[in-house]
Structure 1
Amino acid sequence: MKKQVLLALLFLVFISFKATSQSYLQNGGCAQLNPIDFNTLINGKKTGLFFLKKGNLTAAITNYGGRIVSICAPDKNGQKADVVLGFKSIEDYLKATGVYHGAIIGRVIGRISKGIFEMDGKTYSLPINNGANHQHGGLMGFHNQVWDVKSVTQSSIVLSYNSVDGEMGYPGNLKVEATYTLTSNNDLTLKLSATTDKATPVNLTNHAFFNLAGEGKGTILDHIVTIPSNSFCAVNPDKIKTGEILNVEGTPFDFRKSKPIGKDIILENSNEQLKIAGGYDQSYVLKKKHSAKIVLAATVVDPKSGRKLEVFTNNLGVHFFSANFFKGTDIGKMGKPFNFRESFAVETQDYNSPNQKSFPTLILNPGEKYESYTVYHFSNTK
């Protein structure tokens, strides 16, 4: 009799757990994600999946790389779709050829020539992981670290990561905090902050790839983009910023008036900067000086679904990328391959580089606080 009661209780616990888990599974056109598939250990630290919900949005965040795994958003008819590319398990993230999906990038986004920078008369050498250059914080950058979960509510999560002195060649113990919050205004906000005990370059971003039609729903060349910027940063054949700021006037990079991504990308064989990047992969200048002022970085609309994404930031610039190198080798959480130009990235960041002295500095000093704020606002056109 006791055994039967015990079995009944265990069954009730299992049903309760299953119901709780099922309540976190997204459906109705969005990925079905099971937290169990994100529970593992990486370098002795626990990973997990955390769901946020507020208003018409649902988001899924993993502390592996501080990644956005999913954002579920309605179209003009109320039909929901998963608009961020991601994977259904930690195992899939670990074996993916694209390693930056949805992740927080640091200490420094972008490429540093030959992995060398100078600061205060000293030369620092960083590990090479992109041709002859250092990219996105190195192989074991923030995207490849397990972040600590400080707190979780129904609509927000706070993550932290302590990057030790000398990690990936960077000086100083850098304490970083990332806060994702869903608001009743259909915003996903990301606040990134950092402090250091030694001078060090810092330039953080989130590297989510979007398709407003939904993950795996085909080309983004028909997506209509607006970027309210008069200028962008020139790059050399290694896609390292040269220090030259170019005017967008009369170039394929002019998005001051709304246009489809595909309208001018066809000029990639005749325009040097498009050719170097293999499409759009450029940093735009939004502000010339650091300030807390929030400005519009970009607007993207999918004309078929009517989904609209507006990105706001206090950063100096925004990097726009048209997924020029995806080859369909990675299969996402919707069971579809990540193909060439079927997603885009809008990365809010400072446009500068630690080796370009004419640009505003990236150096964070002891006693200072780095603060980056980004708003992803979702709505619909009529």
Structure 2
Amino acid sequence: MALTKEADDGAGRAGRVADNNRHKTARIVWTGIWLFYLSAPVTDLISGGHGTTARVLGALGLASFVAWYLVLVLRAAREMDPRRVLLSLSVLAALATVLSLALGREWLVLFVYVAIASGAALPGTISRWTVPGTTALLAVTANAVPDGDAYLAGLLIPALMGGFAMAGVRAMIRTTIELREARATVAQLAANEERLRMARDLHDLLGHSLSLITLKSELAGRMLPDHPDRAAQQVADIEQVSRQALVDVREAVSGYRRPTLPGELAGARTALTAAGVMADLPVDAPEDLPEEAETALAWSLREAVTNIVRHSGARRCTVTLRTFQTLDGPVLELTVADDGSGGTGEGPGNGLAGLTERLEAVGGTLSAGPAGRTGFRLLARVPLGSPS
């Protein structure tokens, strides 16, 4: 099982790595396509009539701009310090301004990339100011460059739309990541809840059955020398209880088992009698009970009887079921009282904690504690419906 879990975890990690690699490749390809619009500055370097020094400095400036831009855009999916991003954008804006003023209007397209990097790398609360700011700087620079206003109309809209579009993409990516994390959290919580349910069911099932088996085994041992026939009957009962416990566990694991009050009353009578406890139990349980309410009370009865058999040393146990009306509607109340030691003195165990959760899940309540000088009482209540 451990090897299987490790293999599953390894497969999960491999799948996540593969997904990340695919996303990274797609992002690089998409970013590279948009670099096509840098053909205007490149063409200007080659055939723009600039001197050798201007070409070399222009090429170095363009290479630095592209490298800085790619770092910002490709790392946009990670959390980066906004101050460092603003500093990087300032460098990009400065390069775009200097290159445009020095080499001509073809270089004004660099401001579009500054706006896009701003939307991609900054939170929306900041990029909503930096994108228009970059566009404004583009307009000012275009008016300072010879014939720059001829390019301005074709660059303002791409700068604004590209910057805000990247801000929207960033927000969408963040929302997708949060949804995936929330989905993983919900799945983990569901798995934890299922483990808790299984642990609670198995505790209630096996605690009751094993207690009864232990009692009958002790009885069989005491009867064996003098009353072999009665001892054989106890052994037969042990076999029957063991087989029923196996069936119950299988049904609980399959998720189909639902204890009923009539069944638990019969089981309680058998367990208490085997333990030598005088049992005063109802003959019949109320009919047509809501399934969830009946299940919760059936588990409560089983846990209470198991604790009496195992811990209390009681001589008498009384179980009552009654229905009464409250302002919130009809309520069914189960009371299990004994005259034993009043509990273990170690506080509520796993069984009572599990019962509390079961009852709260159906809107019920549980109270359990010593009753008088001696004895213990468990009181469970569940609502039966809406107010009449």
Q: Shared topology, TM-score over 0.5?
A: no
* Bigger Rg, which one: 2
More strand by percentage: 1
More helix by percentage: 2
The TM-score normalised by the length of structure 1 is: 0.26
